[in-house]
Amino acid sequence: MEQVEGFVVLLDISGYTRFVRSHNLRHIPVLGTRFRVTSEAHAEEVVTDLLETLINATSDLLRPEKLEGDAVLFTAVPENPSDFAQQLVTKLQTIFAVFQDRIHQIAFCSTCLCDCCSQMTQLKVKAIVHHGPFLIKKVAGFREIAGQEIIRAHRLLKNTIDSDQYLLLTDSVNTLAKASSIIPIESHQEEDPDLGSTTVWVHYPELDEIEEKAPTESYLKRYSKMHEFFDQERDRDALIPAAK
């Protein structure tokens, strides 16, 4: 077991629960069941693709530790925390556009009649960034991170911020990065019954709402691309590093 001082980052897809549960046709006998199964499978495939996009967009700075349903947990233990914090804040402010662009790229999925494919544009992303001590340990050969500050980062996902899309920095990260010189941020206070008060700094990305654009390809072409997207076999072993 090793104790380190580093960064903990959670990238969470907002709207995931509504996304996988929206089945308007589920009460129709036979047909409803078929649409429910298809919609659930497509929802998982779309969310997995978007998680891959987030991992690839941050792989030069962050180590993905594990997938947590609709979120990815990352860590980093840099030699120079201040310089790294500035790089990290600069990088993370771009992931919102990357995420949105990916939804545009797979817009051909809307040719599918299931609920999830028609509601992809409602998905957003939240980023939680914290800096502090945590433990790295091995459990049955798997790398695991633990400690109070890991709990704090996860608790901050359940916050009082009235938005589905933001970058949240704890006070420690804001101090290291001097984030106000990089991005516009607002101070906010979060209370936890176990961990007490945590000062956070929130950045709201300025992005245009995703709008449906007139398709430039024929329906048959988009339908074919949709089937190829959902039928493809993905190599997800590369997403999470092997235990060392």
Q: pLDDT tens digit string along 175-224?
A: 999 999 999 999 999 999 998 999 999 999 987 655 555 556 776 777 67
pLDDT of residue 214: 52
Counted domains in the chain: 1
First and final C-alpha spacing in the chain: 13
Residue 236 lies in a domain: no
- Can you give the pLDDT at residue 238? 46
What is the amino acid identity at position 207?
Answer: L
**Stretch among 20-29, 98-107, 116-125, 209-218 having the lowest mean pLDDT:** 20-29
Helix (H, G, I), strand (E, B) or coil at 2: strand
Is residue 238 in a domain? no
Q: How confident is the model at residue 47 (pLDDT cuts 50, 70, 90)?
A: confident
CATH code of the domain containing 9:
3.30.70.1230
Is residue 165 pLDDT above 80, yes or no? Answer: yes
The answer to whether 153 and 126 have CB atoms below 8 angstroms apart is: no
Residue-range definition of the domain harbouring residue 100: 2-231
Give the integer Cα–Cα distance in Å for 136 and 4. Answer: 7
Kind of pairing, strands 166-170 and 124-139? parallel
Q: Helix, strand, coil shares of the chain as percentages rounded to 5?
A: 40, 25, 30
Residue 103 has pLDDT above 70, yes or no: yes
DSSP 232: P
pLDDT for the residue 40: 73
Gap between the Cα atoms of 157 and 87, Å rounded: 22
* 114 contact partners, CB below 8 Å, separation of at least 6: 35, 38, 39, 42
Using CA atoms, how far apart are residues 92 and 76, in angstroms rounded to an integer? Answer: 14
**For 11-25, 68-82, 101-115, which range has the lowest pLDDT when averaged over its residues?**
11-25
- pTM value is 0.83
Residue 25 has pLDDT above 60, yes or no: no
Q: How many CA atoms lie within 13 A of 223 on its CB side?
A: 4
Q: DSSP E strands: which ranges in the chain? A: 2-14, 63-68, 71-76, 124-139, 142-146, 166-170, 186-192, 196-203
> Which pLDDT score, from 0 to 100, does residue 91 have?
97
Give dist(CA 20, CA 71) in Å, integer. 14
Reported as a pLDDT band with limits 50, 70 and 90, residue 31 is very low
Answer yes or no: is 241 within a domain. no
CA 214 to chain centre: 28
Tokens of 109: 């999925």
How confident is residue 23, by pLDDT bands cut at 50, 70 and 90? very low
Give me the chain's average pLDDT, please: 83
> Is 123 exposed, middle or buried (CB count within 10 Å of its CB: 0-12, 13-18, 19+)?
buried
Whether 157 shows a pLDDT value over 50: the answer reads yes
Q: Is the pLDDT of residue 239 over 50?
A: no
Q: How confident is the model at residue 143 (pLDDT cuts 50, 70, 90)?
A: very high
The candidate with the shortest Cα–Cα distance to 118, out of 39, 227, 54, 29, is: 39
Mutual orientation of helices 219-231 and 31-58 as an angle, nearest 10°? 80
Whether residue 83 is contained in a domain is answered as: yes
Q: Give me the mean pLDDT over the 74-81 stretch.
A: 97
Query: Distance between CA 197 and CA 219 in Å, rounded?
Result: 53
